[in-house]
Amino acid sequence: MARLAAEHATNDQVVCIKELCDESERLAEASEDYSAADTAFRNAIAESSGNLVVPRLMGVLKASVPLFIDVTVKKLVEETIRTHRGLADAIAARNPTAAHDAMYLHLVYNRNMIAKGAQTDR
């Protein structure tokens, strides 16, 4: 999805992605609920991918974002801000490899946090 967004996003879509990244960052740094902005950011990337299926799958992700924020007790706020910024910048630079890598790192950090949470719940 990120790779495709870097390849296919229009200039207006890039502006939207960057603005939503800024908004998520502002809310997160203010310790406010950033889940709606985060979801909109992800939806904007999905829409800009040019893939007709990906945006339809975003409902699953939309439902998981607030849950994930609660599960991690907001421990990944700084990491989320950093990886989202890297992702938005890579898409704006039209760099598919950097966009892919930024998304991959974001997902790995999230997976590791969930795994740690599952281990401590045992």
**At 28, which CATH number?**
1.20.120.530
Q: With 80 as the cut, is the pLDDT of residue 56 above it?
A: no
Residue 33 confidence (pLDDT) above 60: yes
Burial class (CB in 10 A: 0-12, 13-18, 19+), 66: middle
- Pick 5 or 110 by higher pLDDT: 5
Q: Of residues 43 and 73, which shows the higher confidence score?
A: 43
Residue 24 has pLDDT above 80, yes or no: yes
**Cβ-proximal residues to 117 (8 Å cutoff; 6+ apart), any chain:** 71, 72
Q: What's the domain range around 42?
A: 2-120
Give me the pLDDT at residue 71, please: 55
CA dist 108 and 31 (Å) reads 24
Q: How many domains does the chain have?
A: 1
- For 68, what's the count of Cα atoms within 13 Å in the CB-facing half-sphere? 23
